[in-house]
Amino acid sequence: MSTKTDTVAKKGYDVEEIRAQFPILKELVHGKPLVYFDNAATSQKPRRVIKAESAYYATINANVHRGVHTLSTKATEAQEAARETARAQINAKHAHEVIFTSGTTASINLAATSLGQLLLKKGDEVVISGMEHHSNIVPWQLACERHSAVLKVIPITDSGEWDLKQVPFSERTRILAISHVSNTLGTINPVKKLIAQAKKKGIVTVVDGAQAAPHLRIDVQDLGADLYAFSGHKAYGPTGTGVLYGREELLERMPPWQGGGEMIETVTLGKSTWAKLPFKFEAGTPHIAGIIGLGEAIRWMQDYDLGAMAAHERALLEYATKELLAIEGLRIIGTAKEKVGVISFVIDGVHHYDLGTLLDQQGIAVRTGHHCTQPLMDRFGVSGTTRASFACFNTIDEVDALVAGVTKGAKMLR
Amino acid sequence: MTTTMNIAQAQQEVVEEFALFSDWQDRYEHLIELGKDLPLIAPEHKVDDNLVRGCQSRVWLNAELKNKLVHFTADSDAMITKGIVALLVRVYNDRTPQEILGASTDFIDRIGLREHLSPNRSNGLSAMIDQMKRYALAYSAK
Ligand SMILES: Cc1ncc(COP(=O)(O)O)c(C=O)c1O
């Protein structure tokens, strides 16, 4: 037992102190302590984030950018402070390159609709990869349909990585839309390398960073991404919040997605002119409380050091991989060298849905099914997997509980 | 024999049977065992048209009218789901369409399974019962 915990403790990481900040970890499920391994679906929230959101409602609730009154000013300042926090976190050049959305899905729909209108002509091509989440597939299918463009796909290798020898770039490729980290496999993709190739060909690049934001230091300038999307709720922030980063020069050229209040400069019944960035893309009253919570979540991650969290999660991943592989008939889907703390697996003769149910009875929350990546399931010839995904607050003891739970479940089912 | 009981009695029998189990493991092991006794659907009926919509795992359900009684056969690729279908088939099998249509479905709540099932699965459960009733309705019109 001590050797297991030592590998983590050596790095000076106090997981108990971190756990104490997540109120939900004290909950019981079916009378058992909650073991939460569904962080890739949504992470749990530290008390500071919950407090920041409710403090907005309790003390400064007012609409932003609209009133001369004190509360409106305070709310506006708090929201714009969150924008600056998000800018710094991803190293964007300007705060107005950070557009608040309701999440990655909304960010990508904005990107696909607006970029489609700006760039796609009949016969043009959009390249995605075979491991994309449906949120980074369907918006592009819709855009392609609207503009009679064609969707092309980077194939996936047996280890769950892009096959870089078969990237289908052509003269007609206009857009590359790819995930930074796979939600199903955990693979950390070589986005910087592929973006560099795309840039040489004048292709506009869009990155789905939903699974990178909770685990990796993101530097949009270093990556060279034109657009970068992520959700707040997967990175210790509130649900219903997200970001679309965009390079200023590109955002200036992109047409607005949704029309409404906040996003206009002047409106006549004949024609309207658009507000400046980022408001051109933020029609309507934003999720102010959530955005403030998102800012707090980012500050919280900064205080606790994303690098130390990543090292802790890496130790959990290595330990869990080794222990799970010792279970007879268990196969891990996604064996790339570079991974975040996500393990998808299948067991011979055991349906993932049954296993998920039996784990739940033991207080262990995992995700089962296709994880919104049906094309990827087809690629691996499975109908679904069981997925455990780790966060900074998970422990080696919890991994032991998972392994024991899976062993017990599999025994009942076989 | 279940066939000599009416639906309400068969439901009561299931409720009493499940009341014997105090812990989740026994309850689920029993369910998995029940699945093994399910009257299996014939290969020619195990087709997409017979898939029950609303289930996360795949469930095939077929019905035929034999001597004025609705005869169900089914299968699932997941064992717990199969156990639940088996339970439903045991209660509703070989009944007249009228009896099936008139039966209450609250026994699922009474066996304490719903609270042990995720909302997804209990939606699937409702979908299975709805599908059985739809078959019964179709046959009652004949
Ligand atoms: C890789 C990836 N992309 C996009 C999404 C969609 O994110 P959201 O549901 O927050 O819009 C998810 C979430 O499941 C994801 O994992």
Percent of chain A with pLDDT over 90: 91
What's the topology of domain B7-140?
Answer: Sufe protein. Chain: A (3.90.1010)
What is the per-residue pLDDT for B108?
75
What residues contact A219, with CB distance under 8 A and at least 6 apart? A90, A91
Contacts of A361 in chain B (CB under 8 A): 24-25, 28, 116
Nearest chain B residue to A414, by CA: B79
Active-site residue, A392 included: no
Domain boundary among A286, A302, A318: A302
What is the per-residue pLDDT for B106?
75
Q: Which two tokens stand for residue B33?
A: 């065992």
pLDDT digits (tens, 9 = 90+) for A214-234: 999 999 999 999 999 999 999
What is the per-residue pLDDT for A5?
44
Task: Mutate one of A30, A32, A350, A353 to test the B interface: name it (highest B CB count within 10 A).
Answer: A353
Q: Is the pLDDT of residue B23 over 50?
A: yes
Do A75 and A217 belong to one domain?
yes
What is the per-residue pLDDT for A228?
98
Q: Is B28 on the interface with A (CB under 8 A)?
A: yes
How many Å lie between the centroid of ligand 1 and the Cα of residue A205? Answer: 18
Percent of chain A with pLDDT over 70: 97
What is the per-residue pLDDT for A1?
35
Do A101 and A250 belong to one domain?
yes
Do A154 and A245 belong to one domain?
yes
Active site members of B = 55
| The one catalytic residue among A298, A355, A372, A392 | A372
Q: Is A414 on the interface with B (CB under 8 A)?
A: no
Task: Mutate one of B22, B28, B75, B114 to test the A interface: name it (highest A CB count within 10 A).
Answer: B28
Residue A122 lies in a domain: yes
pTM of the model: 0.92
Q: What is the mean pLDDT of residues A298-303?
A: 95
Do A204 and A76 belong to one domain?
yes
Q: Is the pLDDT of residue B19 over 60?
A: yes
Do A169 and A293 belong to one domain?
yes
**Half-sphere exposure of residue A48: CA atoms within 13 angstroms, side-chain side:** 16
- Is residue A340 within 8 A of residue A312, CB to CB? The reply is no
How many Å lie between the centroid of ligand 1 and the Cα of residue A105? Answer: 6
Angle among Cα A179, A184, A186 to the nearest 5 degrees reads: 70
What is the per-residue pLDDT for B55?
67
What is the per-residue pLDDT for A9?
43
Cα distances (Å, whole numbers) of residue A38 to A83, A187, A300, A377: 28, 17, 20, 19
Of B32, B77, B117, which has the smallest distance from its Cβ to A413's Cβ? B32
Q: What is the mean pLDDT of residues A3-11?
A: 44
Do A310 and A298 belong to one domain?
no
CB contact under 8 A, A351 and B28: no
Q: Which two tokens stand for residue A313?
A: 């999660």
**Reported confidence tier of residue B107, pLDDT bands at 50, 70, 90:** confident
Q: What is the mean pLDDT of residues A127-135?
A: 98
Q: What is the ipTM of this complex?
A: 0.86
Residue A40 lies in a domain: no
Neighbouring C-beta atoms of residue A160, cutoff 10 Å: 23
Do A137 and A259 belong to one domain?
yes
Domain boundary among A302, A335, A370: A302
Q: Is the pLDDT of residue A128 over 80?
A: yes
Domain boundary among A243, A275, A302: A302
Q: What is the mean pLDDT of residues A120-126?
A: 98
Structure-model confidence comparison of residues A205 and B130, the more confident one? A205
Q: Is the pLDDT of residue A42 over 80?
A: yes
Counted domains in chain A? 2
Sequence-ordered alpha helix ranges (H) in A211-275: 220-223, 248-253
Do A290 and A319 belong to one domain?
no
- Is residue A356 within 8 A of residue A366, CB to CB? The reply is yes
pLDDT digits (tens, 9 = 90+) for A73-122: 999 999 999 999 999 999 999 999 999 999 999 999 999 999 999 999 99
- Is residue A102 within 8 A of residue A283, CB to CB? The reply is no
Instruction: Say which CATH number the domain at A290 has.
Output: 3.40.640.10
Do A174 and A316 belong to one domain?
no
What is the per-residue pLDDT for A60?
97
**Reported confidence tier of residue B116, pLDDT bands at 50, 70, 90:** low
> Which protein residues touch ligand 1 with a CB less than 6 Å away?
A 103-105, 133, 135-136, 179, 183, 208, 210-211, 231, 233, 372
Do A64 and A25 belong to one domain?
no
- The domain locations on chain B are 7-140
Domain containing A367 equals 3-33+306-413
Residue A407 lies in a domain: yes
Residue A291's φ and ψ, nearest 5 degrees, are: -60, -40
**Reported confidence tier of residue A8, pLDDT bands at 50, 70, 90:** very low
Enumerate helices (H) and strands (E) in chain B, giving the number of each.
Answer: 6, 2
What is the per-residue pLDDT for B119?
54
Nearest chain A residue to B81, by CA: A354
pLDDT digits (tens, 9 = 90+) for A248-297: 999 999 999 999 887 888 888 888 888 899 999 999 999 999 999 999 99
Residue A58 lies in a domain: yes
Q: What is the mean pLDDT of residues A351-372?
A: 95
Do A143 and A258 belong to one domain?
yes
Do A186 and A118 belong to one domain?
yes
